[in-house]
Amino acid sequence: MKLAIVSDIHGNLEALDTVLADLERRKPEAIFCLGDFVGYGASPNECIDRVRPLIEGAVMGNHDDAAIGRTALEGFNHEAARAARWTTEALTREHHDYLASLPMQLEWHGARVVHATPSEPEAWHYVLSPAEADFEMLHFTGPLCFIGHSHYPGTFASHGTRSLYTRQPKVTLEPGLRYIVNVGSVGQPRDGDPRAAYLTWDDATGELEHIRLEYDVEGAAARIRAAGLPAFLAERLRWGE
């Protein structure tokens, strides 16, 4: 079955619309969202409106949790905290309640799906190194876990002892190995590539593909500035950092 996973949309409508147009062409049978629908970007309500009817399910991200007032802003940098307060004000009641209803992690088509880590999803840790991946491999049972949060697309593969990391855009999952796959960010890529990112997964063949798409970065940046959000949040979209 052809599947797709999006994450870290961050209220970026221009990036999301580009990804959704690509999904319309590829026609996956189901789509999942790994959270961070909102935060940083200027279109939180529009993004939830667009993506919610198209996804089979979603989990909670730390910016979603902050926007509904549950995650404290102490751990956020200055710009992120300002954006979180702005998002809390902007969110409609309906969208607030939708975000509040999201689970921390789920099983989806035989894979663990979680925004940050399977070990302690509500602590919002990052999985950036093979050592961190080794630890997280102990906290789910199947062969595959999809994550977001760092906005760095890539794959950790474990042969049982230690994990190897690859940023190859195409990976074929091998039987007997276990994987943690970061699907990257639709709305605020941070790997030095400003293009919107998402992942396709064929659960029959084991083929993964990290899709990257150019989108209207200037439009998204202009909307951030017009909303009175920190200018840095507009700038970083151009750098992809």
Q: Note whether 8 binds Zn ion by CB under 5 A.
A: yes
Q: Which is nearer to Zn ion, 112 or 149 (CB)?
A: 149
Q: Which is nearer to Zn ion, 3 or 38 (CB)?
A: 38
Contact 183, 61 (CB under 8 A): no
- Backbone torsions φ then ψ of 228, nearest 5 degrees: 80, 15
Q: Strand 57-58's sheet: what is its strand order? A: 57-58, 30-33, 2-6, 196-202, 207-213, 170-172
Q: Note whether 191 binds Zn ion by CB under 5 A.
A: no
Residues 22-41 that bind Zn ion (CB under 5 A): 36
Q: Applying CB under 5 A, which part among 1-9, 72-80, 105-113, 125-133 lies near Zn ion?
A: 1-9
Count, residues near Zn ion per rule CB under 5 A: 2
Q: Which is nearer to Zn ion, 178 or 190 (CB)?
A: 190
Q: Applying CB under 5 A, which part among 7-15, 42-50, 102-110, 209-217 lies near Zn ion?
A: 7-15
Q: Which is nearer to Zn ion, 84 or 157 (CB)?
A: 84
Q: How far is the CB of 202 from Zn ion (least distance, A)?
A: 26
Q: 7 by DSSP, 3-state: which?
A: coil
Q: 165 by DSSP, 3-state: which?
A: strand
Q: Applying CB under 5 A, which part among 3-11, 22-30, 175-183, 211-219 lies near Zn ion?
A: 3-11
The number of CA neighbours under 13 Å toward the Cβ of 94 is 5
Q: How far is the CB of 36 from Zn ion (least distance, A)?
A: 4
Tell me the C-alpha distance between 212 and 71, whole Å.
30
Tell me the C-alpha distance between 199 and 7, whole Å.
9
Q: Which is nearer to Zn ion, 8 or 17 (CB)?
A: 8
Q: How far is the CB of 9 from Zn ion (least distance, A)?
A: 9
Question: What's the CA dihedral at 47, 222, 234, 198 to 10 degrees?
Answer: 40
Tell me the C-alpha distance between 45 and 97, whole Å.
12
Number of H helices, E strands in the chain: 8, 12
Q: Applying CB under 5 A, which part among 2-10, 116-124, 203-211, 224-232 lies near Zn ion?
A: 2-10
Residues near Zn ion, by CB under 5 A: 8, 36
